[in-house]
Structure 1
């Protein structure tokens, strides 16, 4: 039996810090059990606005798969190993934290642009391993549903992740355009921009639809420039990070 739940943009957890405004589809700020609040494999889904010259100071991650999707602007990172990099709009980055990494993420002041960043966390298949970053360009216009990140066998994503029960898809559509989302034991549809109709419900920017036991779903864009992210997940996470 399938189930679905809509999380409206206004109902997300909102948190504002110095130069950073985050909207959280899963409770994240404070002492939350990420596993208990997970949907499928998705433990964290933050929609962040980062002022030029602001960001997140150096902090520690371990045994996490972290996917960063940039909507506007860019994010620069550096870590304790000396590695540096940048993720710009139109790109995705997957970070495997492995045995542990201290890193910093900033929107450079020189951009003079507020960065909008969707960051999503999942557990890895197995703990440990060397920390690693993978970044790729992901063109969306006119391409239908694009496989952005996945660890599912047989998939050919833009970036691979160390989680064999999860895949991230994206699409950018004009008004009236439609895509079919794959069947998923656990699904998480997020409207990045614009508006869509799915199963008779209208979702607008910042809204999410969570499904359990869902079959294929048709998603139709109601506005030009509509962008969606969809997590296809094969199992429920059993532990927190």
Structure 2
């Protein structure tokens, strides 16, 4: 839902809501207003295979909408739920940075590099597909459903050597503050990728506040993984996202216990 008492809001044919707001870092050559884009959860694509229920922020599989092909290098955000004992059989990938972020249950991973692991809440997994990799993902539990986000970032360089990374984030590292879980190579992020993309996460309780400044020549996509927040006077709930490609500032307040992901993109 959108609180329109503080912002002028206009629904576009693309299924995005434009929210006009005064930019934080506008220069003399910038217009008096910047535009934030709101992607509502209910407008996402949806796949239901029985064992898999998935919501797609961008075109994926049988859900195709040329107006929603990605945002800068961010190509996929799939919000996936897998029933106990089921999953994705072995399948190939190539030239993509694929990040898995588990929110509930467990996800068992095996790939052609010889890596096998179980990913749980608090773990970050990044697979660089590069020249080619095959992998499978299953819910190893016989009783608990799995809920995870699968995120694809288009790489800055193709045909690189496939690579697997997995790190754990302690809850305190993201409590009411940003934790950079993925960033370009040579950075100090938990995992590194072949792209000018910084992925940050935070958990917010009611009343917690965070900000993010979208600087010139940067682009930001903020996704609500769960809970409820307020951004610049607009209420965002689970699955909603807000984005900006102009100098601006996100002023974020937790409303219900929330977990959010921020994509800071070149």
> How many Å separate the matches in 2 of 1:11 and 1:81?
37
Identify the range of structure 1 (142-151 vs 170-179) with the bigger mean alpha-carbon deviation: 142-151
Taking structure 1 as reference, are residues 3 and 207 closer, same or farther at Cα in structure 2, changes over 3 Å only?
same
SS at match of 1:10: helix
State the 1:101 CA deviation: 0.9
Q: 1:171 to 1:60 in 2, by over 3 A?
A: same
Runs of 4+ in 1 over 6 A off after TM superposition: 33-36
Partner of residue 65, structure 1: 97
Instruction: Show CA shifts across 1:183-219 (max 9, x none).
Output: 2521111111111111110001111112111423221
Q: 1:3: Cα distance to partner? A: 2.2
Q: Pick from 177, 183, 208 the counterpart of residue 241 of structure 2.
A: 208
Deviations 1:126-184 (A, max 9, x none): 1112211101111234351111111177x421111111x21101100110001112325
Mapped partners of 2:43, 2:90: distance in 1? 29
TM-score calculated relative to the size of structure 2: 0.81
Is the 1:140–1:146 Cα contact (8 Å) retained in structure 2? no
Counterpart for residue 160 of structure 2: 129
* CA distance in structure 1 between the aligned counterparts of 2:211 and 2:82, rounded to whole angstroms: 32
**Higher deviation after alignment, 1-10 or 32-41:** 32-41
1:74, 1:34 → 2: CA distance? 33
1:180 aligned onto 2:227 = no
Larger Rg: 2
Say whether the 8 Å CA contact 2:105–2:145 is kept in structure 1.
Answer: yes
Q: In structure 2, how many angstroms separate the alpha carbons of the residues matched to 1:199 and 1:36?
A: 24
Secondary structure at the counterpart of residue 213 of structure 1: coil
Check conservation: 2:46, 2:63, Cα contact below 8 A. no
Uncovered stretches (5+) of structure 2, i.e. residues with no partner: 1-30
Is the Cα contact below 8 Å between 1:18 and 1:54 reproduced in 2? no
CA deviation vs aligned residue, 1:88-119 (integer Å, no higher than 9, x gap): 11111111001101111111134x21111011
Shift of 1:82: 3.2
8 Å CA contact 2:214–2:245 kept in 1: the answer is no
Residue in 1 that maps onto 2:58: 26
1:1-40 equivalence runs, <5 A: 1=31, 2-30=34-62, 32=64, 37-40=69-72
The verdict on how the C-alpha distance between 1:214 and 1:120 changes in structure 2, with shifts beyond 3 A counting, is: farther
Quote the residue 1:238 is aligned against. Answer: none
User: How far apart are residue 87 of structure 1 and its match?
Assistant: 1.2
CA RMSD in angstroms, aligned pairs only? 2.0
Per the alignment, do residues 208 and 36 of structure 1 end up closer, same or farther by CA in structure 2, a change over 3 Å counting? closer
C-alpha distance in 1, partners of 2:158/2:67? Answer: 15
Unmatched tracts of structure 1, length 5 or more: 235-241
Distance 1:8 1:129, change over 3 A: same
- 1:195 maps to which of 202, 208, 228: 228
Rounded Cα–Cα distance in structure 2 between residues aligned with 1:20 and 1:54: 8
Where 2:73 maps in the other structure, the secondary structure is coil
TM-score by length of 1: 0.89
